[in-house]
């Protein structure tokens, strides 16, 4: 390699998901050859985002303000709350469906072997919120995996304990699949025909 800095840049790109040595090289060369302005913007956006983006105090999604724009919005329906595992899942539901309620981002799923219990998922905070009587329906959109289903059952019980109706996305999401990779049409349909949990 002709430049130690360049070597360092290539290595740094490998932190991105799905980026191996070859792709990292291509990215580094591409930026240096043709996209120095864009590269500078990316460096700034990365540094500033990492510095300033934390979590919303209400929904636990990413936010640079204490309460995120969605939670602060007056035009969302406070009677519906949708629980998702990750910010990416929340984003894909927001983009694929016409949902106008609020969200709660678990930032994970119950996984006792990994030390992830109700506390790590913010479920005390969720319980407090369900206890206010404002929420009528808890739409449980955890992934259809074993751990996601276990989490769903736990959340459904929590909802019932507070007199809130739990619902689950309709069949349509492939079993064992990850919500984030489902096509919009399927997801929109599944979201629309969610069923009340018995």
Of residues 93-112, which lie at the interface with a copy of itself (CB under 8 A)? Answer: 107
Instruction: Pick the binder of a copy of itself from 48, 124, 134, 196 (CB under 8 A).
Output: 48
- What three-state secondary structure class fits 137? strand
- What three-state secondary structure class fits 165? strand
The window from 28-36, 136-144, 152-160, 165-173 that contacts a copy of itself (CB under 8 A) reads 28-36
Question: How many residues of this chain interact with a copy of itself, rule: CB under 8 A?
Answer: 59
Q: Could you give the CA distance from residue 69 to residue 135 in angstroms, rounded to a whole number?
A: 19
CB of 90 to a copy of itself, least distance (A): 8
Please tell me the number of Cα atoms within 13 Å of 157 on its side-chain side.
7
Task: Give yes or no for residue 90 binding Zn ion (CB under 5 A).
Answer: no
Q: Could you give the CA distance from residue 138 to residue 25 in angstroms, rounded to a whole number?
A: 46
Task: Give yes or no for residue 132 binding a copy of itself (CB under 8 A).
Answer: no
Distances (CA, A) of 59 to 25, 63, 122, 165, 197: 38, 10, 9, 19, 22
Task: Give the footprint of a copy of itself on this chain (CB under 8 A).
Answer: 1-6, 8-9, 11-13, 15-18, 23, 25-33, 35-36, 38-50, 52-53, 56, 59, 61-65, 68-70, 86-88, 90-91, 107, 180
């Amino acid at each position: 390699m002709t430049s130690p800095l360049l070597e360092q840049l290539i290595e740094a790109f490998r932190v991105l998901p799905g980026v191996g040595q070859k792709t990292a090289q291509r990215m580094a060369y591409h930026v240096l050859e043709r996209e120095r302005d864009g590269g500078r913007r990316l460096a700034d956006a990365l540094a500033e985002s990492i510095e300033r983006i934390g979590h919303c105090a209400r929904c636990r999604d990413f936010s640079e303000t204490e309460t995120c724009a969605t939670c602060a919005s007056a035009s969302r329906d406070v009677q519906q709350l949708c629980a998702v595992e990750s910010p990416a899942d929340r984003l894909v539901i927001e983009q694929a469906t016409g949902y106008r309620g609020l969200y709660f981002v678990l930032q994970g799923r119950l996984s006792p072997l990994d030390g992830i219990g109700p506390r790590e998922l913010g479920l005390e905070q969720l319980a407090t919120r369900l206890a206010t009587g404002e929420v009528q329906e808890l739409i449980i959109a955890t992934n259809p995996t074993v751990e996601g289903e276990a989490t769903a059952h736990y959340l459904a019980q929590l909802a019932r304990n507070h007199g809130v109706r739990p619902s689950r996305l309709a069949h349509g999401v492939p079993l064992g699949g990850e919500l984030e990779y489902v096509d919009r049409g399927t997801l929109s349909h599944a979201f629309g025909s969610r069923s009340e949990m018995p």
